[in-house]
Structure 1
Amino acid sequence: MAEVALRALSKRFRQTRAVEDLTTEFVAGAVTGFLGPNGAGKSTTLRMALGLVRPTSGTALIGGREYAELRRPLRTVGAVLESGAFHPARSGRNHLRLVARLGDLPLARVDAVLEAVDLGAAADRRVGGYSLGMRQRLSLATALLGDPEVLVLDEPANGLDPAGMAWLRGLLRGLADEGRTVVVSSHILAEVAQTVDRLVILGEGWLRFDGTAGELTAYGETLEAAFLRLTAPPVAGAVA
C-alpha cells in the first residue's frame, strides 16, 4: 500500500507563512490524526499533497511519486476536502456514475460505495435534498469509488450526528485494518482521539508533535491540555 511522505514542505502566500519545513509520514495500516487549530496549515498541507497547491519548497510524495505523476490517481488516493460540491439536481447515484466514467472506474463500484456509506436508500434522491450529513457521506463514497490505497479526509465528521460519528470511526478503522493509509484532518481533538493510531499536530504552520496519544500524555497531561500547550500562539512579550 502507498504511504504519504512530506519532506521539508513549506508554503508561503506572499508574506504569510502557511506551512514551514514540515517533514512527516502518514503510514499504511494506520489512522493518522492530522490536527491543529483553525489556520494551522492543515488544509494547505493536504492540498499540496494532492497537487492542488504548489509548494514554495519541499516535496509531498504518495507512494514515492508526486500526485501529478500518479498513473491512475483515483485508484491511489481518495480525498474529502469539502462537502457540498455536487450538482443539486443530480441524484447521489448519478453523481457517482459520472465520477466513475470520468475516472475510468467500474460502474459496479457505485452500488458498493453507496452501501458502504449507508446511502443506498437515498441513492436516487436529488442531492439538493440531502442533509449536510448525507452530503458528507456522499463525499466519502466519492473518495472510496476508486478503492484507493490512501484516504485523505479533511473534517470528515462535519455534519454527522453522534451515531454517524460512531459509524465513521468504524469505517476508518476497517479501512486502516485492510492496510490502507488513512489521514483524518481536524481541529477538534476529541473528534478523532478514539480512532487514531498516530497524531501529527501543527501549530502556526510548524510541526509540534508526531507520535502516539500515549507519548503525548506520557507526562501526566490530558490530551486536551497537551494539545492546547503545543498549539497555543506565543504570548507577546514573553521571555524564553
Structure 2
Amino acid sequence: MTFEVPPGQITGFLGPNGAGKTTTLRMVLGLIRPTAGTALIGGRRYETLPHPRRVVGAMLEATAAHPGRRGRDHLRILAQVTGVPETRVDQVLDQVGLTEAAGRRAGGYSLGMRQRLGLAAALLGDPRVLLLDEPANGLDPAGTVWLRTLLRDLTADGRTVLISSHVLSEVAQTVDHVVIVHEGRLCHTGPLAELDDLETAFLRLTATEASASADAH
C-alpha cells in the first residue's frame, strides 16, 4: 500500500469494514509498528517530529476522554502535555461548538458531543495535518454539515486532512481526493473528480480486489 495525501485538500480514506483503515492510521502515528515499509509525515516518521502534537492532530476514538472529567479540564490537561497555551482550550471549544457544554462531565456527553470534544483535542496544537477516523459518527445532519464546513475551512488554510469513513454519500460531498483500500491493499488513489460515481466505483474496485485476492489463494 503506497499513497500520498496532498496538502490543502480533504482526502477520504475509504474501504469496507476490516480493510485496514484504522490500522494504517495507527501506523502513521507510531501506535503500531509496521512489519515493513514506512509511514511519513512531511518526510519524517511521527516519533521523530520535534513537537508531534503541534504538527499532527489525530482523532481515532471519540471515547478517549475520561467520563468523569469535564470537557474543558480534559483539554487543559492535553494542552499542558502538548505544550500549547491554555488560551487554546477556549478557542478550540468555540471552534467545535462546545463552549456551553465545556463544564459538563464527558460521561454525560452524547456521541456527537464526544466527537466534537475529540476534534477539539485534535485541533489543540493548531496542527498542519489532521488524521480523523470516522469524524462524522454520531453527528446529526446539522452537525455533519458543520463538520464539512470546518474541514473545508481548514484545508483552505493549506492544512492536510485525511478522514477515514464508510459513509460514501457524505464523503462524496466532502472530499477532494480519495484513497480506497480493501484487505490491506490499495485499490485506487486520485482526485474524486476522476470517478463518475463514488459508490459505483467503490463497489467495483473493492469487488475486483476481493476477486483478485481469492484467485491468488
User: Does the alignment pair 1:68 with 2:43?
Assistant: no
Aligned amino acid, residue 201 of structure 2: A
Instruction: Quote the offset at 1:209 in angstroms.
Output: 0.8
Q: Which position in structure 1 is the counterpart of 2:37? A: 58
Tell me which amino acid in the other structure corresponds to 1:226.
A
CA distance, structure 1, for counterparts of residue 94 and residue 147 of structure 2? 13
Which whole-Å deviations, capped at 9, do the CAs of 1:202-234 have from their partners, x for residues lacking one? 0111111111222122xxxx3211110111222
CA distance in 2, matches of 1:127, 1:188: 26
Q: Which residue of 1 aligns with 2:211?
A: 234
1 or 2 for the larger relative contact order (CA 8 Å, sep ≥6)? 2
- The alpha carbon displacement at 1:237 in A equals 8.0
Q: Per-residue displacement from partner, 1:61-99 (whole Å, max 9, x unpaired)?
A: 111110110100110000000111111111100000000
Q: Percent identity?
A: 64
Matches of 1:23 and 1:111, distance apart in 2: 38
**What TM-score comes out, normalization by structure 1 length?**
0.86
Q: Distance in 1 between matches of 2:40 and 2:192?
A: 25
Aligned-pair distance for 1:188?
2.0
**Given the two structures, how large is their TM-score scaled by the length of structure 2?**
0.95
Flag as ranges the 4+ runs of structure 1 deviating above 3 A. 235-238
User: 2:110: which partner in 1?
Assistant: 131
Q: Which letter maps to 2:159?
A: R
**CA distance change for structure 1 residues 24 and 121 in 2, over 3 Å: closer, same or farther?**
same
Tell me which protein shows more strand as a share of its residues.
1
Gaps spanning 5+ residues in structure 1: where? 1-21
Q: Distance in 2 between matches of 1:59 and 1:237?
A: 27
Instruction: Give the Å deviation of 1:27.
Output: 1.4
The 5-angstrom pairing of residues 148-167 of structure 1 reads: 148-167=127-146
Counterparts of 1:109-120 in structure 2, within 5 Å, are 109-120=88-99
Matched, 1:211 2:186: no
Root mean square deviation, CA, Å:
1.6
Distance 1:225 1:120, change over 3 A: same
Matching residue of 1:90? 69
Residue 7 (structure 1) aligns with? none
Aligned residues: 214
Mapped partners of 2:22, 2:113: distance in 1: 22
Aligned to 1:168: 147
Q: Greater shift after overlay, 117-126 or 84-93?
A: 84-93
Q: CA deviation at 1:112?
A: 0.2
